[in-house]
Chain A
């Protein structure tokens, strides 16, 4: 079974802090994604990566950066956390190729910025 893990389930940070969210997958997947999920808005793509050291902006990249130094690990960084970044953050991974290959999600990190 594919396993996607995230470093924290719950996180409380203060405005202005630098926040690191880590995601690790064990299926040698090329593609990894970071989403945030807010009520009524669904999942919105922040960044994705299709290979080591490669990254692409998603729909809402402002205020975030990412790092992918190893294939299995994809990190999301909030350079200076703000209260509007309070949200559920979901990481996902997917193998190469399109079609039936689904995304596999981690358990999520619920971030509260005070």
Chain B
């Protein structure tokens, strides 16, 4: 299995631009999580899905952030408009409920907003 796939791996954009991060979970996994990691705030959960349905988005910082999961093999996290304080590493993770509790993280997307 290829593991969780994220793209792009690095993104540099200017303030005000729209940014879209992509994630492909491990095939068969029914939970998908989006995390953000910064030095100041550490690792924080933004939103998670179960069977493509958003379950908890209480970690989404504000309306500029949105996430979708149109099917079991694809999810996006969008920031519009982006701001310098959004600069962080964004991780996607997935899990299969029947195989236990381990969340498998993707390689992350390092976002820099200038």
Chain B binds chain A: no
